Amino acid sequence: MASSSSSSSSALSRISNLSRHFHQSDSKSSDNPQGAIDAPFRGLIKISTEVSAAMSRGHPVVALESTIISHGMPYPQNLETAKEVEAIVRKNGAFPATVAILDGTPCVGLNEEELERLSILGTRVRKTARRDIAQVVAGKGNGATTVSATMFFASRVGIPVFVTGGIGGVHRHGEKTMDISSDLTELGRTPVAVISAGVKSILDIPRTLEYLETQGVCVAAYRTNEFPAFFTETSGCKAPCRVDTPEEAAKLIDANMNLGLGSGILISVPIPKEHSASGSLIENAIQSALQEAREKNIVGNAETPFLLKRVNELTQGASLASNIALVKNNALVGARIAVALAKLRVQ
């Protein structure tokens, strides 16, 4: 088995080759024949040939974020997971559209070379929220999109369903620090349905739900009355709304779109029982990681990646395994919701 340093060196040596192919691939992808993309953004956002063709035919498309690839896990596990998630979306009747910024160009839908390039670069790619988009584009940089940035691009090109692992939220002690994820304000102003496993349990879940209510965001739980807490099925917080089938979820999304409410929808899917990590094990690890973050003065958008990595170390890999399992489950549910929505909107 090769050492991590030699694997990294070998992987990095391929980046230039992958970069060389980037602007040559999908040469027709920005055409978007049906014009689903907002007119002012045409030519600024690159849509893959597959995604563009699917959208032009009214086929269901699911947007996927890319931060989980760059910052969620090491190479090559991140690439394997990204491919598996896309395969799950396809198997369940929809087309995946992973979103990222490559060489300053926002991309909706990545080919295999682009996925590998992003995976190899890993944390050297800029973690890109809405506030960072202009900077990354202007500097012709590479950006892995978070929930807020992925929602922004999905909305601009007309993709109504987006799958992620878990959204950001109000950080613990957020009433003092005012550390609140831009995911929440994005949900309040961007009409995209976000399929997630709830809110990461490293955050303050009750305050996050309160903030979403203030933003006018419909929060629904899938086949449960309780809002899930990412690693575990329960949080102790009741979900404001419940949907039990992809069709019910699709009707909720369709009503939100038809009414022009202008806000997103959060559909929270509990992690499968067989992959649910021990709540007490995770909570103890979270408390320890939070203390370390405070001692090291790790704040802002650097805090969540640090906490997730540290919690994974403290749980000896249990939290990462759970993370991957829930993302795959969300992709399955999200694809089925996208298919139901596409059928509903052509009736």
Q: How many whole angstroms separate alpha carbon 265 and alpha carbon 283?
A: 27
DSSP code per residue over 72-116: SS-TTHHHHHHHHHHHHHHHTT-EEEEEEEETTEEEES--HHHHH
Question: Which of these, 230, 242, 170, lies nearest to 201 by C-alpha position?
Answer: 230
Q: Quickly count: other Cβ atoms within 10 Å of residue 331's Cβ.
A: 27
Catalytic residue flag (residue 140): no
Q: How far apart are CA 171 and CA 253, in angstroms?
A: 28
Catalytic residue, chosen from 46, 50, 65, 233, is: 65
Residue 300 burial (CB < 10 Å; 0-12/13-18/19+)? exposed
Helices (H), 179-317: 182-189, 205-214, 246-259, 279-295, 303-314
Residue 311 amino acid letter: V
Separation of alpha carbons 313 and 339, rounded Å: 38
Contact by Cβ (8 Å): 254, 344: yes
Task: For the chain, give the longest Cα–Cα distance.
Answer: 57
Q: Which of 46, 50, 86, 200 is catalytic?
A: 200
Provide the 3-class DSSP secondary structure of residue 266.
Answer: strand
Structure tokens at 152: 């922004």
* Helical H segments across 143-190, by residue range: 147-157, 174-177, 182-189
Is the dihedral angle over the CA atoms 133, 135, 139, 142 positive or is it negative?
negative
Catalytic residue status for 114: no
CA dist list (Å): 86 to 53, 66, 238, 259, 309: 17, 12, 31, 31, 24
User: Annotated active-site positions, please?
Assistant: 65, 200
